Amino acid sequence: MIRKTLTITILIIGLLVSPFASVADEGMWLPGSIDKLPLSQLKKKGFELKPEDVYSTAKPSLKDAIVQISIGGTGSFVSPEGLILTNHHVAFGAVTRASSSERDYITNGFLAKSRGEEIPAQGYTVSITQDYKDVTSDVLTAVTPEMSPAERARAITTKQQEIQRAAVNGREKEGIRAQVIETTSGYQYFLYTYLTVRDVRLVYAPPKSIGYFGGDPDNFEWPRHCGDFAYLRAYVGPDGNPAPFSKDNVAFKPKKFLAINAGGIKEGDFTMVMGYPGSTFRYRESYSVEYRQNIQMPDQIKTLRQQIDLLTKLGEKNPALKIRFAEQIFGLNNTLKNFEGTVLGLKRMNLVEQKRSEEAAFTRWVESDPARKAKYGDILPQIAELYRDLNSFSLKQSVLNNLMNAGDLVNAMQYAYARAVDREKPANERSPQFSDANVGRIMGQIGAGWAEREPESEIGLLSAALKGAAKLPADQKLAYIESLFEGKSGNDRSKAEEEFARKAIEGSRYKSIDEFKKTLEMPAAEMRKSDDPLLKLVAQSFDAVGPLNERVGKFNNAITGLRPKLITGMIEMKNGPYYPDANFTLRFSYGEIKGYKPRDAVTYDYQTSLSGVIAKDTGEEPFDVPDGLKELQRKRDFGNYIDTRLNDIPVAFLTTNDITGGNSGSPVMNGRGEVIGLAFDGNFEGLGGDYAFDPSSNRTISVDIRYVLFLTEKLAGAGYLFNEMQIRGSRK
């Protein structure tokens, strides 16, 4: 990560935070830019391919084997018959939607013993990148210096849509779609063209006790022992074009599929990953990092903890609710752990101070040249002022949003009041979402879910939001809420907030669906004066949050115009290789197999084994090892998949590859482009990597392909799939 800087001090700092260079395994690179990497160094590490073997539009390349799965993950073709390998947690939605009380695929897993038994992965599509090109100059022709930030944003959106339509050019029936996507806060715009396959089917998913082994306790942790894999298959119509599910469809024939290498791994081996990583923020200014570290994420962490605590307590009182809330609690815990680890990571890296030092160097560089000063001199001061304004109200906005989302009843009342406010506008200014046709549709949705309302949950959420309002800084207090609890503080106020929430929810005259419908005919003024405490609170909160949302909109429009200028200046100053922030488009990263030191006197090995799985067995979820797997381990019926160093079946391994969310299911490949594992997680110490890459702690966690093959053959009895796969490196 060497880059040009003004002082030795800044250079040392840059070894951690600069996303402009290409050493230390950093970077989620555009696959067409691999020729800009130090290929001689990569070849010494074990990279054996040519750039065109990775990305080419003239011949089949690795990019044709990598698919974006619609729910936000990655997969890869591993046979010429459209067979896709991905993570269990990526395919889990398909498993749950296909399950029922009679067919519990979640617990027992699913196996199609033939093509005819493969079942639709409901809601799933897969997309393959056809090509991409830089259209930044084309997009920005729509922008003029006289435009306001809001006008600029609208003009860019309109131009993006125009370019997309021209790119598709009537090829929708062929499955072609196009998307113009901004990268790095609008520094660049790329036109991506995709082939989207709409018929995706589930082939094999292991039992939850394999694919979800370790659950939340092991999430983001090492050592890991999770068999996080599943097989899907893509189908197209008989004419070869993408089509919805039909029994007449045939297996998709990819231009390229990946071979499997089961020959084993060792520390120091070269690795590369291709996939569709989500969002990173490595070019963000210090003000953004400071805001997220000290204000936004701590506030979100507090809210998440409240929600988890509430749902957990409700589940403890009611077994049915425990089951109902289980998936929701898992998702909240996952996000909580991510945010907590990110805050710790940002502080550990001292990233705010490092960004400030980098910006100080930029300022000195700008000030040293009149032309640069005229071009870039006012950017950082303007950004600083925008964040001063955002910091002055963001916590208040967060509390109001929590109030407005305190359960189904509050959400319904919010909709009714928003519609009433919209009806106060002239007819030509009203929103289409509140038209009579849309009202009927939304009321149908509200009515369908009314029986599922959980009043205790709503009371808890409202009470938590009121408690959040009590903790607002003095200059962000909400006067109408303070008046409800005037003269109360500490435990007295907390009890009063809980009592108010209970009376507001349980005592509302509009808590039945028939009574609620009456609010749809009430004028906004009548709602504001209502003696129903909940309806009045919703109206006051909606009126209060509206101006704040407008300020956020202005902030977003303004910052979107400034960030590309700052990044342009930074790139000009550093004059080195650059990779864009991740944005759910196809990327390439490289690294090596390597352990790490999480803390003093502790060193983590790079591999885990089946013995470690057995050692974690408690017989209870999420550490319940299937009897069949324990029997295979007892008999040491390991087939050809044993690792000689471990003298055991390998389960997971660590690499230094640079990934983030969206990479789930990405193939981890050796230097020849052969699959050696599937990426499924990052480590806790590496959280914060979305903002800066730290080579000492950022690690990718992957399931070893030998564990995948072992379970497929020995536990599932699905070895027939190997007949269409190309497996190399094993004695078999």
Q: Which tens digit of pLDDT belongs to each residue from 308-366? A: 999 999 999 988 888 778 778 878 998 999 999 999 999 999 999 999 999 999 999 99
For the chain, give the percent of residues with pLDDT over 90.
87
Q: Tell me: the pLDDT tens digits for 177-218?
A: 999 999 999 999 999 999 999 999 999 999 999 999 999 899
Decide: 342 and 279 in contact? Cβ < 8 Å.
no
DSSP conformation letters of 501-536? HHHHHHS-TT-SHHHHHHHTTS-HHHHHT-S-HHHH
E-only strand ranges, 208-251? 230-236, 250-251
Bridge pairing between strands 700-704 and 650-655: antiparallel
> In the chain, where are the structural domains located?
8-54+258-278+584-728, 62-255, 294-377, 394-550
What confidence score (pLDDT) does residue 3 get?
Answer: 28
Handedness of CA 36, 40, 46, 47 (dihedral sign): positive
Tokens 């009470």 sit on residue: 463
599 bridge partner residues? 602
**Is pLDDT at 450 greater than 50 in this prediction?**
yes
* Interacting residues of 697 by C-beta distance below 8 A, sequence separation 6+: 345, 596, 598, 683, 685, 686
Band (135; pLDDT cuts 50, 70, 90):
very high
Band (25; pLDDT cuts 50, 70, 90):
confident
Decide: 311 and 459 in contact? Cβ < 8 Å.
no
8-54+258-278+584-728 topology per CATH:
Thrombin, subunit H (2.40.10)
**Residue 113 in tokens:** 């013993």
Decide: 596 and 604 in contact? Cβ < 8 Å.
yes
Bridge pairing between strands 119-120 and 176-183: unpaired
Decide: 32 and 601 in contact? Cβ < 8 Å.
no
H or E element at residue 359: helix 351-367
Q: Which is nearest to 656 in space by CA: 592, 710, 705, 606?
A: 592
Q: How far apart are CA 678 and CA 670, in angstroms?
A: 12
- pTM (2 d.p.): 0.90
Distances in Å between the alpha carbon of 316 and those of 146, 507, 555?
A: 60, 25, 43
